Structure 1
């Protein structure tokens, strides 16, 4: 058996399952604000709340994903969570009011949290140990492709085919994600049982916060929280902002430019991460992401809108897989599922709080001010990253070298 092989059949299947899972998510996330404001006659704040409710459920359930996988098995949780995600994707076709939409969004968010955590954990387990950075980068590339194609297709179908067609497409994509995920299996890591032998005694005692959170992933997860807060304004309100600027016909192409610049440098980013370390990628990516948001805040023409999309894609596309890899590698091998859940817990929390807060900000001060505020938030993530990760790692390495010399 070639343990160096990355592109195995199971890795390809879990990547494609993740693609269709996130395709459904991003199609809904982008088009739902239009559905709430135009289809249901709601306000910008209500559009933001429809995303926030989704994320609240994600935040509540994601910490339990690691425990569920440990207790019932990784594959079983992948299958059940993807099946439930499919059922609630179909439920949008029966929504007849805003209150019912919020109810469906809540349950859909909970199943999304478990499904994404379990598929992420499966993918990480399949990737060869010494190719984690590269493998996670490629795996997240499929999420990024969904991030590009989903909004484009969602806005296009909503414009030409209506909301029912959009909901039906999301249900079909959820079905494909379920079939692919259910057919994916990975061989158990032989080192995990030995590392986890100390766990059974704890399983019989009361549930402790360490059973739900991997504390070593928390520092980088806080940086992810800040980035997600700002990023939520892009996904949730981009279509409404473009409509306000009278360039809404170009909104879907914004996400195409966004996605192209995520996809093109991704293979390089993964290899750089394994070879030269994370700091070389993180700081330039934050700067590029910030500049992109500032350009978006001033976008009154199609050209500037598309350029801002490309710049944001380059910055965000390099930043997210880097943060995720740092979180995973910070944890012991048998707690990497928890590390993934911890990272996305704070990412979801930032996304949810951001959707509601930025929606209120946009209602009072306009979208230009909102995107300038997002740029400031993104820039501040560099300070958080330096304080909670870079500086701490430097001090840890210095202490290790000193101990080795002595």
Structure 2
């Protein structure tokens, strides 16, 4: 028993560093890709087209990889995905036309989404008790990696140019992939009848999507994520155009969020072990409307920046507790698929929100958009409560 616990602890440390390196690699590139595409001659319209196309197409590989990870060795699959990402980042150096970016960027985003999502599923293969607490500790790796990645990547782009950023990102992805590859707690082979039949996989999707606990979480988080472009897309514009702040202060609103994520992941994960996952999920969802009201009503850039510390609840805490919740409510051999569908669900909500909130900004301005985001995100809580009650009533019938 002690030996097994010691091995699990070693593996979680290995996976922590693998995930840390993957987020450093992602952070190197993500903030700079729109700038790089512009540098290569793409117009803002073309860049928006490439980004939208990547978001939509990424749904397919994320779902497929999630399902495959439930059938074959998950860590070996992660190793292959990481190696593929290492290759794709180097190819960016040679991309120069709209068509090339329309092929390359969706491939990269699809694999990156899969890689980040499945890192959580791999960790949950080892975490069997106090899942909120232990996964909260594990997931600090991504937040810490994201602190260093964009900062170092920006410095390298300014001093050494874009190729150095892509090569460095490639190296970090490769080392991360190697750390995943050397694992192997689950040496499962594909069942022969599954190799060419579609029906078992369709049944797997059906099981997850009709799981009452899973679709309750999906529905409530989807509503909250429709509102997230109010932060991810429009906050810098709101601060610079409406409030009149500098670009530095608008970027600071993003830079502070990882410092809130780490303690939130640790505390809220542990809290969910004590008082229950749904209560903490409801608490995290309640932070969305509070965050938007504080952002739009203060008028003070420093108060706006302080309000973004609620990102610890709306992203860090919500993600940690949601993953723990899903891992406990779906079958063990559906875990990768369930977490992939959670990621897809969130990103589709954000995709819709970009167009909806963008329409509101264009036609009515930033303040009405933020109040609309407040209202939309607030609906996530009654959805969670009502569906949970409905499920509870069905259990007692």
The TM-score bracket by the shorter chain reads 0.7 to 0.9
For residues 238 and 344 of structure 1, what CA distance do their matches in structure 2 show? 22
Unaligned 5+ residue runs, structure 1?
A: none
Check if 1:20 corresponds to 2:21.
Answer: yes
For residues 149 and 369 of structure 2, what CA distance do their matches in structure 1 show? 24
Of stretches 112-121 and 10-19 in structure 1, the one that deviates more from structure 2 is: 112-121
For residues 233 and 163 of structure 2, what CA distance do their matches in structure 1 show? 19
TM-score, normalised via structure 2 length: 0.83
Write the mapping of 1:202-221 to structure 2, written as runs, cut at 5 A.
205-207=197-199, 208-212=201-205, 214-215=208-209, 216=211, 217-221=214-218
Q: How big is the shift at 1:182? A: 2.2
User: Do the aligned residues in 2 keep the contact of 1:156 with 1:252 (CA within 8 Å)?
Assistant: no
Residue 79 (structure 1) aligns with: 79
Q: How big is the shift at 1:286? A: 2.0
Write the mapping of 1:133-172 to structure 2, written as runs, cut at 5 A.
133-154=132-153, 163-172=162-171
TM-score, normalised via structure 1 length: 0.81
How many residues are matched? 389
User: Do the aligned residues in 2 keep the contact of 1:230 with 1:354 (CA within 8 Å)?
Assistant: yes
Q: CA RMSD in A?
A: 3.3
For residues 159 and 368 of structure 2, what CA distance do their matches in structure 1 show? 31
Of stretches 317-326 and 48-57 in structure 1, the one that deviates more from structure 2 is: 48-57
Write the mapping of 1:294-373 to structure 2, written as runs, cut at 5 A.
294-298=293-297, 301-359=300-358, 361-373=360-372
For residues 358 and 17 of structure 1, what CA distance do their matches in structure 2 show? 36
Q: How big is the shift at 1:91? A: 2.1
List per-residue Cα deviations over 1:55-98 (Å, max 9, x = no partner): 22321122212442355432331121111111112222222234
1:287/1:212 Cα in 2 relative to 1: closer, same or farther (>3 Å)? closer
For residues 92 and 354 of structure 1, what CA distance do their matches in structure 2 show? 28
1:391/1:334 Cα in 2 relative to 1: closer, same or farther (>3 Å)? same
For residues 46 and 379 of structure 1, what CA distance do their matches in structure 2 show? 34
Structure 1 counterpart SS, 2:250: helix
Out of 223, 226, 238, the position equivalent to 1:226 is 223
Q: How big is the shift at 1:148? A: 4.2
For residues 391 and 62 of structure 2, what CA distance do their matches in structure 1 show? 27
Check if 1:391 corresponds to 2:383.
Answer: no
For residues 350 and 129 of structure 2, what CA distance do their matches in structure 1 show? 31
Of stretches 216-225 and 151-160 in structure 1, the one that deviates more from structure 2 is: 151-160
For residues 150 and 243 of structure 1, what CA distance do their matches in structure 2 show? 24
1:149/1:364 Cα in 2 relative to 1: closer, same or farther (>3 Å)? farther
Residue 186 (structure 1) aligns with: 185
For residues 382 and 241 of structure 1, what CA distance do their matches in structure 2 show? 26
Structure 2 counterpart SS, 1:264: helix
User: Do the aligned residues in 2 keep the contact of 1:258 with 1:314 (CA within 8 Å)?
Assistant: no
For residues 238 and 99 of structure 2, what CA distance do their matches in structure 1 show? 25
User: Do the aligned residues in 1 keep the contact of 2:19 with 2:142 (CA within 8 Å)?
Assistant: yes
User: Do the aligned residues in 2 keep the contact of 1:58 with 1:348 (CA within 8 Å)?
Assistant: no
Q: How big is the shift at 1:39? A: 6.5
Write the mapping of 1:275-286 to structure 2, written as runs, cut at 5 A.
275-286=274-285
For residues 90 and 7 of structure 2, what CA distance do their matches in structure 1 show? 34
Q: How big is the shift at 1:333? A: 1.8
Check if 1:90 corresponds to 2:87.
Answer: no
List per-residue Cα deviations over 1:216-260 (Å, max 9, x = no partner): 223312223233333344334544555444321123432332111
Residue 257 (structure 2) aligns with: 258
User: Do the aligned residues in 2 keep the contact of 1:63 with 1:342 (CA within 8 Å)?
Assistant: yes
For residues 352 and 370 of structure 2, what CA distance do their matches in structure 1 show? 15
For residues 203 and 332 of structure 1, what CA distance do their matches in structure 2 show? 21
1:285/1:94 Cα in 2 relative to 1: closer, same or farther (>3 Å)? same
List per-residue Cα deviations over 1:145-197 (Å, max 9, x = no partner): 34444445555655666545544443333233223222333256xxx99xx9x
Write the mapping of 1:13-162 to structure 2, written as runs, cut at 5 A.
13-35=14-36, 40=41, 42-43=43-44, 46-127=46-127, 129-154=128-153
1:32/1:297 Cα in 2 relative to 1: closer, same or farther (>3 Å)? farther
Of stretches 346-355 and 45-54 in structure 1, the one that deviates more from structure 2 is: 45-54
